[in-house]
C-alpha cells in the first residue's frame, strides 16, 4: 500500500488549508499523514529523517511553493510532489492543470528558477514579481485578510486602486543592458509564467520552459484611470495585448526597474514592503 506524507500550509486558501487538503487525501490510494509545512525550520534535518517509504507531497498556494523553493534551494532533495490548495494557484494554471488534476512531481520545475534582488536580499520566484498596481493589490489583500476571514476579492481591490488609491510613477528600466524611461507607469512586473493574481494572464506569450531563458517585463503606462478599467476584464484572457499604446512587453534575461517613489512589491503574490527598485534575472 502506498504511503504519503502531506506537507500542508494551514494558512493557504484563505486559511482553509486543512479543509482543502481533505480533497487531496480522497484522491490518494493509500495511507497518508499530515505535517504543517510552516513548522519545519531545518530542511536538511527533515529530509535526512523522513521515511523513504513515504512519498512527500507539498500542498498550498503559490506562496507556499515559493517558500519551499527558496528554503530548499541548493539542497539535494528527494522526489517531491505538489498539489495546489491556495487561493490563486497561478503556477498550477500555467502548466496547464486544473482542480481535478492529480499531484505532479515538482523537482523539474524548481530547476533554474529566475532570481530577484530587492533591498539587498536575493530570492527565487516561480510566476512573477514586480511593483506597482499588482503590489498594491497584494498588500491591500493582506491588510484585509488580517481584519477578516472573508475571501479576498482582488478585482474589487484593483478597481479601488485604479480609481482612488494608487498613483502612477516614473520608471527607469534596463533590459539586458538597454535603458528605457517610461512615465505614468502603473505596473512593471517581470513574468516567468503567464499568470499572476489568481488567473490574470498578464504575459500570454511567456513560456517558463522556453529554451532561450527569456522572461517578459510588462509595462502598463501612459494611460488614464478610466482606460485601465476598460481593459481590466480583458487581462484574464490575455487580450489586453491589443492595447499596445499602453501595454508594452520587453523580453530578455536581465531586468532592472527603478521607480521614482517607494511602491508595494509582490513576489508570487507575497507582499514586500514598499521599495524603489528591483533586479530580476535568469542564470545561464
8 A C-beta contact, residue 63 and residue 142: no
Looking at residue 54, its pLDDT comes to: 95
Indicate the pTM of the whole model: 0.94
Residues 163 and 255 in one domain: yes
**What does the buried/exposed string (b/e) look like for 37-73 if buried means 16 or more CB atoms within 10 Å of the residue's CB?**
bbeeeeeeebbeeeeeebbbbbbbbbbbbbbbbbebe
- pLDDT above 80 (res 212): no
Q: Give the C-alpha distances (Å, rounded to integers) separating 49 from 46, 53, 79, 150.
A: 5, 12, 15, 38
Looking at residue 283, its pLDDT comes to: 83
Looking at residue 82, its pLDDT comes to: 98
Residues 156 and 27 in one domain: no
Range of the domain at 149: 115-281
Q: Mark which of 110, 133, 153 sits at the end of a domain.
A: 110
Beta-carbon contacts of 28 under 8 Å, excluding residues fewer than 6 positions away, are 2, 4
Cell numbers at 208, concatenated: 517558463
Q: Higher pLDDT residue, 257 or 52?
A: 257
Number of domains comprising the chain: 2
- pLDDT above 90 (res 142): no
Mean pLDDT, the chain, whole residue set: 92
Read off the CATH number of the domain in which 199 is found.
2.60.200.40
Residues 53 and 187 in one domain: no
Can you tell me the mean pLDDT for 200-220? 90
Can you tell me the mean pLDDT for 120-133? 95
Beta-carbon contacts of 2 under 8 Å, excluding residues fewer than 6 positions away, are 28, 29, 30, 31, 55
Looking at residue 129, its pLDDT comes to: 96
Looking at residue 12, its pLDDT comes to: 84
Read off the CATH number of the domain in which 84 is found.
3.40.50.10330
Reported as a single tens digit per residue, the pLDDT across 10-62 is: 988 767 767 888 889 988 988 999 999 999 999 999 999 998 899 999 999 99
- pLDDT above 80 (res 209): no
Residues 170 and 277 in one domain: yes
Q: Mark which of 110, 129, 147 sits at the end of a domain.
A: 110
Amino acid at each position: 500500500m502506498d504511503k504519503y506524507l502531506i506537507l500542508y500550509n494551514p494558512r493557504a486558501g484563505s486559511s482553509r488549508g486543512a479543509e482543502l487538503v481533505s480533497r487531496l487525501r480522497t484522491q490518494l490510494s493509500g495511507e497518508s499523514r499530515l505535517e504543517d509545512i510552516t513548522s519545519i525550520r531545518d530542511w536538511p534535518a527533515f529530509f535526512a529523517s523522513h521515511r523513504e517509504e513515504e512519498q512527500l507531497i507539498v500542498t498550498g498556494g503559490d506562496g507556499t511553493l515559493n517558500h519551499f523553493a527558496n528554503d530548499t534551494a541548493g539542497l539535494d532533495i528527494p522526489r517531491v510532489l505538489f498539489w495546489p490548495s491556495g487561493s490563486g494557484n497561478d503556477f498550477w494554471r500555467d502548466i496547464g492543470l486544473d482542480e481535478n488534476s492529480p499531484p505532479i512531481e515538482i523537482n523539474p520545475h524548481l530547476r533554474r528558477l529566475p532570481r530577484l534582488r530587492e533591498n539587498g536580499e536575493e530570492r527565487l520566484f516561480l510566476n512573477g514579481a514586480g511593483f506597482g498596481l499588482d503590489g498594491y493589490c497584494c498588500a491591500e489583500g493582506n491588510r484585509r485578510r488580517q481584519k477578516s476571514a472573508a475571501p479576498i476579492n482582488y478585482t474589487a481591490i484593483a478597481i479601488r486602486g485604479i480609481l482612488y488609491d494608487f498613483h502612477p510613477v516614473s520608471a527607469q528600466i534596463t533590459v539586458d543592458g538597454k535603458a528605457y524611461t517610461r512615465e505614468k507607469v502603473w505596473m512593471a512586473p517581470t513574468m516567468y509564467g503567464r499568470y499572476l493574481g489568481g488567473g490574470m494572464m498578464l504575459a500570454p506569450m511567456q513560456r517558463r520552459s522556453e529554451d532561450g531563458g527569456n522572461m517578459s517585463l510588462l509595462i502598463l503606462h501612459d494611460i488614464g484611470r478610466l482606460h485601465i478599467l476598460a481593459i481590466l476584464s480583458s487581462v484574464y484572457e490575455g487580450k489586453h495585448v491589443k492595447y499596445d499604446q499602453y501595454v508594452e512587453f520587453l523580453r530578455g534575461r536581465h531586468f532592472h526597474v527603478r521607480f521614482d517613489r517607494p511602491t508595494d512589491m509582490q513576489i508570487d503574490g507575497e507582499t514586500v514592503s514598499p521599495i524603489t527598485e528591483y533586479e530580476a534575472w535568469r542564470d545561464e
